Structures are given as C-alpha cells and as structure tokens.
Structure 1
Amino acid sequence: MTKLDVSSPSFNWGELGFSYRQTNGHIIYKFKDGKWDNGELVTEPYLPMHIAATALHYGQTCFEGLKAFRMKDGKVRVFRPQANAERIIQSCDYCMMAAPTVDMFLDGVKRVIAANIEYVPPYGTGASLYIRPVLFGTEAKVGLSSSEEYAFVIFVTPVSDYYKGGMSNPVKSLIMANTDRAAPFGTGHIKIGGNYVATVRSSYLAKKRGYPVLLFLDSASRTYIEEFATSNFFALTPADANGKRSYVTPKSHSILNSVTNMSLERVAKEILGWNVERRRIAYSEVEEGKFDEIAACGTAVVITPVGEIDHEVVKDDGSVVVNKHVVGDGKTVGAGLTELYHTLVDIQNGDREDPFQWMWPANGIEAEN
C-alpha cells in the first residue's frame, strides 16, 4: 500500500474526506503471559493472525476514535484522550479482555502521532488527524472463552471535515420498523465491533431510501429515544427571553457514553449557561414539538443537524405507516447548534480558551528524534 504524499505545498487537505490513508506506520502492543510489552512502531499495515483467534470467531474486540489537531499556536494536541482511555478500559472489562492502562494508552497515542507528525493537517484547513485504537483477542480458541493473548493497535489517518465547511444542512433520519440496535441489558454501552455491524444492513437500506442516519428507540418498549446508529442523540429546547436553552440527551444503559456528547454538555452548561438534562426522552416529546433543534453528535462529524424524523409504525394488521416530523423549518441549521459547534471546534483548534484543559498534552507533541 502506497503512503499518502503530503509533501507538496499545494496539497489540498480539505479534499481528504473521511477514509483510510496510509501513513508512516502504527504502534502495536502485545499481551502475553499476563503482561503487556512496551509497544513497537510498525510500518507494514498488515497483521498476521491465527485463524482461530477469538476476535475472528467470537467478536472479542473493541475500539476507540479520537482526533489530534495542529492548533493556532502551531502545537499538536489531542482532544480528551484520557476519556477515550477510560472508555476502552470499560469495554475491555465488560468483555473480559486485558485492558491497557491510561498511561499506556496515552503513551501509544503520543508515540504514533510523533511518528506521523507530518500527517497532522495544518491549522486552518478544517482537517485533523484521526486516531483509531483497536484491541482484540489473538489466542487460538475453538471453545467460547476469553483469550489470554491480545493485540492493541493504534493507527492514524488524516481526515478533512466530514461535511465540507463544517456542519451539513439538516438531514433526514429514519426510525425503522422491526429494527433494534442493542438489547436493554446488552452491550450497547460499550464500544465493541458487534454493536456497529448490527446496524450495517439497516443503515444501508435507510441510505438507499434517502436517510443518511438511523435513529433507534429502546428495544423493550420502542417509546424512548436511544441513539443514532453511529452517534449520540441530543436536542435543544427553544431559547427563552434571555437566550437560554435546555440541552437534553438520553440516559440509558444501552447507549454509548459519547465523549463528544459529554463535551457538548459541558460547553452548554459552563460556557453558554444553558440547562443540561440527561434523562429518558419519550419520542412523544419530539412529536409534541418540545425541541426546535435536534442533532447527532460524535467524533467524526462533531454535530449533524437533523431536520426531519420519519417514524415507521407497525399497525395491528402488519402494515407499516410512516409518521413524519419536521424539526424547526427542516432546512436550516439552528442558532443553538451553530453556537455549540463553533464553541467546541474553536477549543479544539485553539481559537478560544480551553477552560477544561481538554487539549493534551499542554506542551504539544513533536516529531520523534
């Protein structure tokens, strides 16, 4: 596989899109005999694996996604890597996998960025370095049990804005009949591969019908909002006379605790002075028009405004009807989402103060010697 050449001064970082590009290499740690090794930087983007590895047969794998930015002061920093480290530890613990320590996670992130420093896009391009840590069982086993050997890989790839210019225009979302993402007491709260493959088919079918994002309700009652296929859900109430709103996002065991969502909550509460509610949200609240702005949020897109939600409902005779609900005017990005988006992105790029000390490390990451 040929490395991406970014050496030309005229290289267009804004045209990268969100796809894998080969860089200088990745870092891999291996767990064996009850301990992790010190990690090794590797240039070859392929990994030999036993055909009976637990990751291949029983899905013993989890991953993370985060970004590094070349900020206004010229330094390279990562957005909240400690939160991603803590979340992958939670995923590992739940799936009985050997977990990295927070320090090991941060060490790997720092080393792989330093080895690929030229792939961190310049400030002002709207692009960033996407970081993908992935951990999986490598021991050969035929019976169902936890592996005793693991690999922890961190690779990086430069990406541009998911949508050119930042946020997209509002998109249509579908609640598909007879389709669930996660069981009430299953694995929806951790970031494992199985949670995502469960939505691949339904997402494909939805996109063919003109819906870029799928929204899921709770699988027990199908009355409460859970999350989108790859992103958390949040909604904003109309601004009051003082310009204040409520930022409302679901509380449920079966949704992923998004780092982006947690960050937007703090921006809303501590910078914008809004009320923040993390609670069960009945879909009827959407139908009743309690929210004038709704969005999906995640590392890749930051915020995707939603302008319409179409809800498929199965009638007693088995037929399906579609109830359409337009959010706001359905066409333009609301003022609340715009303010949230620019406040968070400005912190990531160094265009405003970082009051939470989210950007790590303070002194930046430099090329390896």
Structure 2
Amino acid sequence: MTKQNIDWANLGFGYIKTRSRFVANYKNGAWDKGGLTEDSNITISECAGVLQYAQTCFEGLKAYTTEDGHIVTFRPDLNAERIHDSAVKLRIPVLPEGMFVDAVKQVVEANEDFVPPYGSGATLYIRPYMFGSSPVIGVKPAEEYQFRMFVTPVGPYFKGGVRPLNIRLSDLDRAAPKGTGNIKAGLNYAMSLYNIVEAHDLGFDENLYLDAATKTKIEETGGANIIFITKDGTVVTPKSDTILPSITRRSLLYVAEKYLGLKTEEREIHKDELSDFAECGLCGTAAVISPVGIINDHGKEIVFPDSNKEMGPITKKLYDTLTGIQMGRIEAPEGWIMRIK
C-alpha cells in the first residue's frame, strides 16, 4: 500500500486523523465483539459518566516500520495488562481476553499507509481508551461503556529531539498515596495541566513531582518516568506505589542488565541525592528517552554533568539498544515484538 503524502521527518507530536478506528460497547453486562469504523466522532449523553465524574482510562503504544520492512508493535500485552488494572480501579468492566491485542492488529493493519517509513524518526502512535458512556447524575459508576482505539502518526514527544531538557521540581502533587497514581487514569493528567502550562510559561520543559506525603522523594514527571545514572554507571529509578508502571522503564532496566551488563536499582530516591547523579533522562512510550540536563529546585540548578549538553553515554546506549530492538536492528527478547505485517 502506498504511504500517505506526509512530511514524516518534520512531524510534531500531534493528532492527524486516520482512516479507521476500533470501537466496542459494553451494555447489559457484556462487551460486544467490536469492530472497525471510519467515523471518528463520538455521540454520548450530556450526563455521561466520563463527562460528569472523569471515569476514563487510556493507554499509549506505538507501531514501527522495522529495518527489514515489517510493521510491528512493542509489548502490547503489557499495555493490555495495564489498561486492565486501570479499569479495575475505576470500576470499568475489563475487556474480554484478547480483545485489546486483536484491536491493535486490526487498527494498525487498516491504517498501514499511515505507518511512517523506517528511518524517518516518526512512528504510529496507538491510543486505546475506555470511558463511561451512559448517564450518571449521582456519584457512582456508569452502566454502559465504550472502548475505542485510534492511531495517528507522530514525531518526537519533546520538541528539539535530543536537546537536554530543563525541568523543575514542582510544589504541586501529581497523585496521592493509595490513590490513582499507579494507573493511567485521565484524571491524573487533567490535574497536571495547570502545572505544565505554568512550567512552559516559565521556560521549563516539564515538572518533576515529589511524593505527596513527605515532599522529599522523587516520583515522576507529568508525562514520563525518570531514570538516573550514577557516576559508576548504575541505572537507578524511583520506587513508589504512586508512579505509573512504565513499560518503557521496565524494558530499559532489562536492557541495562541483560544487554549492557549494567547494575540496576529500583529504590526510593531522595531529593538530596540528585546532585550525586551523572546522567538523567525521562522515559516513556511517547518520549522513549529524552536527556535531562538540569533540574531546577526553586532557583537552584542541579546540573547533570554527563547529560547537560547532550544525551549521556549510558543513556545513549540504553536508547540505541531499545530503539534497535524496536526497529529490528537488534534481536529482541522472546515475546517483545508483535509482527503485524
């Protein structure tokens, strides 16, 4: 199939309408089998649960064109597990086994001409989401739901590519202890919007959140997990029940240990430790890894010497290895790559 006439090399991270999307509905206690539609519009009640009480969760994954010309996705089974966990916590009926991964296959195949070519730097972003669709006027779960999945070709999440980011420590909270911080709920991101606009207005790329209870431990940013590299090359990531369990971070830790022979640690990271690290980066499906050069702590700049001017050497090895696996240049662990075409 001939590719769409798109300037792949200059794509931003934004929405471009594509041909088909997957839709399934939950009514009378069961999900239907779902299917593809070309209608990108949604018609729901003005009193729908998603509109009144933010009963919605979502996922994000990508499809790639590999070096040998195949179209693949990366670990979609883990996205299926995560949206299952999000649905349970939000009292949304979980999807039938296999529906999520099957929907990924259907939607990507139906929009294969929107999958960016190998070497373009762009990818096909896949956005699955679920929401309460029936009217709810009291605070309770909806009775009907919809699961949808669309795709859109995207460029890098952070503008400027590998330019080191300048982020700030935030006074606001991303998530409360024993709350929804460890699921991909829409409400978590709505809460971050005021703060990210303010950060951008002040010249920062992102907000780095501390734990809500003590304001002493590193959590994550509004759009990505965070990783640090010690001066002896150990990869360190925060451990917390209020951090989203990032599939990219999980994969990077595996790559660090099994492919690069590096030591890894998942532990509490205190704010006072930041100046001890050599490198820092943000990681996630959208960003993969973006280097962080500076964390601004209320006017005090914490500079990471090995990632201040460019992606640090360890971070670059992690990035090159993981993207090499995704793009088919490096052999993947069993089960990591799902070939679609």
Report the TM-score, using the length of structure 2 for normalisation.
0.96
Matched residue type, 1:305: P
Residues 63-72 or 116-125, more deviating: 116-125
Task: Report what 2:169 is aligned to.
Answer: 175
1:324 alignment partner, one of 295, 301, 305: 301
Task: Report what 1:20 is aligned to.
Answer: 15
Change (3 A) 1:23 1:279: same
1:125 aligns with 2:120: yes
Shift of 1:163: 5.2
- C-alpha separation in 1, matches of 2:254 and 2:206: 25
Task: Report what 1:185 is aligned to.
Answer: 178
1:338 aligns with 2:316: yes
> In structure 2, the residue corresponding to 1:198 is in which secondary structure?
helix
Task: Report what 1:305 is aligned to.
Answer: 291
1:86 alignment partner, one of 75, 78, 81: 81
Task: Report what 1:138 is aligned to.
Answer: 133
Change (3 A) 1:306 1:7: closer
Change (3 A) 1:265 1:121: same
- C-alpha separation in 2, matches of 1:155 and 1:345: 23
Residues 186-195 or 99-108, more deviating: 99-108
Query: Is the CA contact (8 Å cut-off) linking 2:290 and 2:311 kept in structure 1?
Result: no
Query: Is the CA contact (8 Å cut-off) linking 1:14 and 1:161 kept in structure 2?
Result: no
Residues matched between the structures, number: 339
Shift of 1:126: 1.5
Deviation per CA, 1:236-295: give whole Å up to 9, x if none: 1123xxxxx2111111111100111001010001111111111111111113x2x10011
Query: Is the CA contact (8 Å cut-off) linking 1:85 and 1:102 kept in structure 2?
Result: no
Shift of 1:148: 1.8
Shift of 1:357: 3.0
1:251 alignment partner, one of 220, 239, 246: 239
Larger radius of gyration: 1
1:292 alignment partner, one of 264, 278, 287: 278
Task: Report what 2:340 is aligned to.
Answer: 365
Query: Is the CA contact (8 Å cut-off) linking 1:59 and 1:194 kept in structure 2?
Result: yes
Residues 38-47 or 256-265, more deviating: 38-47
Q: Which runs of 5+ in 1 are unaligned?
A: 240-244, 313-321
Shift of 1:144: 0.8
**Deviant stretches of 4+, over 2 Å:** 5-8, 160-165
- C-alpha separation in 1, matches of 2:3 and 2:333: 33
Matched residue type, 1:141: V
Shift of 1:234: 0.9
Shift of 1:102: 4.2
Deviation per CA, 1:24-74: give whole Å up to 9, x if none: 121100011111111121112101001111110101000000001111221
- C-alpha separation in 2, matches of 1:160 and 1:309: 25
Matched residue type, 2:216: T
Change (3 A) 1:102 1:75: farther
Query: Is the CA contact (8 Å cut-off) linking 1:174 and 1:214 kept in structure 2?
Result: yes
> In structure 1, the residue corresponding to 2:98 is in which secondary structure?
helix
Shift of 1:226: 0.5
Matched residue type, 1:173: I
Task: Report what 1:235 is aligned to.
Answer: 228
Shift of 1:164: 7.2
- C-alpha separation in 2, matches of 1:326 and 1:73: 40
Task: Report what 2:253 is aligned to.
Answer: 265
Deviation per CA, 1:207-228: give whole Å up to 9, x if none: 1111001100101110000101
Task: Report what 1:316 is aligned to.
Answer: none
Matched residue type, 1:261: R
Task: Report what 2:263 is aligned to.
Answer: 275
- C-alpha separation in 2, matches of 1:268 and 1:356: 17
| CA-based RMSD | 1.5
Q: Which runs of 5+ in 2 are unaligned?
A: none
Query: Is the CA contact (8 Å cut-off) linking 2:31 and 2:96 kept in structure 1?
Result: no
